[in-house]
Amino acid sequence: MRSNVTHRQTAWDLVPGEVLKEFNDQYPYLKKNMTTEQWDEHLFYQPCSRCGSKWKAKCC
């Protein structure tokens, strides 16, 4: 668990991955680089490629 609250306006590394991915898709001209942790967070909320459900342990 990590905090995503800061006083720094440039702390994009603290934005949750799924939120940053949505921001990047909506505003490609303002795109921010995602950290590995943010990319993993984004992928966590993607549907399973086999059964289509949201990720959970042993979904298939």
Segment holding 4, helix H or strand E? none
pLDDT at residue 55, as a whole number? 65
Q: What pTM does this model have?
A: 0.72
pLDDT at residue 37, as a whole number? 93
Which token pair is 19? 């939120």
The SS3 assignment for 42 reads: helix
| Domain locations in the chain as residue ranges | 1-60
Task: Provide mean pLDDT across the span 7-11.
Answer: 86
CB atoms under 10 Å from CB of 20, counted, come to 22
Task: Provide mean pLDDT across the span 24-37.
Answer: 95
Contact predicate 19/26, CB 8 Å: no
Better pLDDT: 17 or 54: 17
Better pLDDT: 54 or 15: 15
Residues 6+ away with beta carbon under 8 Å from 21? 34, 38, 42
